[in-house]
Chains A and B, each alone.
Chain A
C-alpha cells in the first residue's frame, strides 16, 4: 500500500480499521516531502518535528479510545465518521499559524511568527490534525503562477518546467505530488481554482462569508475566501465541514445552521439544470480546453442532467472590476506593513517616513508594489469616480447577471483557465497578460458565489484541464454533488497521474 496515494476518506477508513496509525501516515508524508521537495518546491516551511511529535500523542489518544469525547463537534447533525484526528494537512502561507512562520512568501514577513492562529487553523488543530508545513504562494496572493514568491519557485508536478498556477500554487502542487493529503488555500480571484486546475486536483472557493477570514492575511477583504484543495471531491466536502461556520471575529461571516457537505454527495444529477455560458467558451479559450469541456457536457447529458447554452456576458467587465477593486483594497490592507511592529525593517534610516518608505520598498516585491500603486491611483482624488466608483457599479451589474442565471439553472459550467499550465517565465514580464489568465475565475469572486474546479481530462501534452462548476450563494451542496457525480463517472485519478517530467 502506498500511503501517500490514498485520499483522506481512504486514510480515515484505514485509521478506523486500525490498518494504519497516524504516525505511519504522517511519517510517510514527511518522507515523501523530503523526496519530492527539491523537484516541486511547494513548501516555505516544513513542520517535520512538531508534526511527528503531535502525531505520537494523537496515536496514544486513539489507542486509549478517548478520541470521540475530545473531538466531539457541537453541531449534532455532523456525522461522526467525519473524524480527521491524525490526518495531516498543509496550510497556505498566508494563514496565521501560532508558532510556525507565516511569510505570505514575502521578504517583508520573512521571519514573522503569528502570535495567534487563524480561525480555520484553530479548527484544523481542534480536529487533531498535524500541520505538515506552510505552502508557497505568490507574494501576498498576488499572481496566477506562484512566480511572484520571494521565497522560491514552485514547479508543476505534471511537468516541472511549467507553473503550478497561483496564487495557491504550493498548495495545489503539494496535493498533486502527494506531499500532503489535502491543503488549505485562499481564493481572491481564482487562487484556489486555477492552480487546482493546472495541477489536476480539486479546488473549492466557498461562498463569501461561509468560512471565517480571521487570521487570513488580508489581500482584498471583500473578495478573499479560504477553501480546500484536495485529491477528490469527497475530501473537499470533508474539509469544508471542518472550516465552514460563523465566527464572531469575522463580521462578514454568516451565521447559519451548519451543514454536512459529505451528505450532499448523491452520485446523481438527474434533472439537474446546467447552463453553459457561451461567452466563457469563446475565442480566448484554447481549443483543447474547449473540447474537453464539450466532452464533459456530453457526460452530464448521459448522466441525466439538462444542459443548455446560455448567455452571461460578464467576464471582461468582471476582470476589469476585479483589478480595480482588488488593488484598491490591497493598497489599504497593505498599509499596515510599515516596519514598526513586525516584519522587515530597513537599515540606515534618517527619520520615520524614511523608515516606512525604505522598509516597504525593500520588503515588497515588484507585483505587490505595482498593485499598491495602481490601487492608490484608482482611489486618489480625481480618479475615484472614474475607476473605483465605476467598478463598484459594475460589480452590482455582474451580481445581477449571475442572479438572472440562477433563476434558470442550478449550476453554471465553464473552463477554469483559458489554457493548461504555461511555462515558467513565459508571462512573468507582462503583468496584463498574467491578469488575463484569471478571466474565467474572477467574476465568481466579484459575485460572491461559490465555485469548484475539478479535472475533466488532459491535453495532448498530458497536462490536466479543469472544469469550473458555479453555484448560487450558499449552494455548495449542489456544486459538490454535481462535481462528485462527474468524478465518479470519469475517474480522472485512476487514469492520469503527474509524471514529474523535466526537459
Chain B
C-alpha cells in the first residue's frame, strides 16, 4: 500500500510542515521505501505479546512538591525571537 499525495499533505499539515509541489514525489518515494521495509514486522512472531511502552519499569516516579525557582530567567528570555516588556511577542491570534 503506498501513501497518497493527499495523505502526505494531510500529515504535513498535522506536523506544521510545508511540502512543496516539487518535493512531493521525493517524499512519497522515501516514505514508501521505508514503509515497505517495515512490513517485515508482519512476519514477526509477536502474536499476543504485550506492548513495551517505556524502556524501563519505573512507575509513578514522584518527587517532593517543592517550588524551585529557576535562577536564569534572562538566559531564558534572551533566546526569544520576539520579545516586548519581558514577554514573548507573537503575531495576533484573534484577528
Residues of A within 8 A of B33 (CB): 431-432
Task: Tell whether A393 is near chain B: CB-to-CB under 8 Å.
Answer: yes
- Whether the Cβ atoms of B81 and A208 lie closer than 8 Å is no
Tell me which residues across on chain B come within 8 A of A335, comparing CB atoms: 16
B30 at the interface (CB under 8 A from A): yes
Q: Is B84 part of the contact surface with A, judged by Cβ < 8 Å? A: no
Task: Give A56-87 as 1s and 0s: 1 = Cβ < 8 Å from B's Cβ atoms.
Answer: 00000000000000000000000000000000
Binds B, one of A191-199, A288-296, A339-347, A406-414: A339-347
Chain B 1-37 residues near chain A, CB threshold 8 A? 3, 7-8, 11-12, 14-19, 27, 30-31, 33-35, 37
**A343 with B56, Cβ < 8 A, contacts A364-B17, A373-B12, A380-B11 known:** no
Interface set of B (CB-CB < 8 Å, partner A): 3, 7-8, 11-12, 14-19, 27, 30-31, 33-35, 37-42, 44-46, 49-56, 58, 61, 63, 70, 72, 75-76, 78-82, 88, 90-93, 95
Least Cβ distance of A314 to chain B in Å?
Answer: 9
With A349-B91, A393-B49 as known contacts, state yes or no: A372 contacts B17, CB within 8 Å.
yes
Pick 27 A–B contacts, CB within 8 A, sort by A. A98-B72, A98-B75, A115-B75, A209-B55, A223-B55, A252-B55, A252-B56, A320-B37, A320-B39, A323-B34, A324-B38, A341-B79, A344-B81, A349-B91, A351-B95, A352-B93, A364-B17, A370-B30, A370-B31, A377-B35, A390-B42, A392-B51, A394-B44, A431-B30, A431-B33, A432-B30, A448-B55
Whether A357 contacts B18 by the Cβ 8 Å rule is yes
Q: Which residue of B lies closest to A393 (CB)?
A: B46
Whether B72 contacts A377 by the Cβ 8 Å rule is no
CA distance A374 to B93 in the complex (A): 29
Q: Among B38, B56, B80, B81, which residue has the most Cβ atoms of chain A within 10 A?
A: B38
- Contact of A341 with B31 at beta-carbon distance under 8 Å, contacts A252-B54, A320-B37, A373-B17 already known: no
Which of A345, A370, A391 has a CB less than 8 Å from the CB of B81? A345
Instruction: Classify the interface of chain A: helix, strand, loop or mixed.
Output: helix
The total of Cβ contacts below 8 Å across the A-B interface reads 168
Given that A373-B11, A396-B50, A435-B34 are contacting pairs, would A209 and B81 also be in contact in the complex, using a CB cutoff of 8 Å?
no
* A499 neighbours in B (Cβ, 8 Å): none
- Which chain B positions have C-beta within 8 A of A341? 76, 79-80, 88
- Please report which residues of chain A, range 77-104, place their CB below 8 angstroms from some CB of chain B when the two chains form the complex: 98-99
Beyond A115-B75, A357-B16, A373-B17, whether A343 also contacts B41 by CB under 8 A is no
With an 8 A cutoff between CB atoms, is A152 at the interface? no
Check if B49 sits within 8 Å of A397, measured CB to CB: yes
In the complex, A353 Cα to B56 Cα: how many Å? 37
Contact A331 B75 (CB under 8 A): no
Cross-chain contact B40 with A345 (CB below 8 angstroms): no
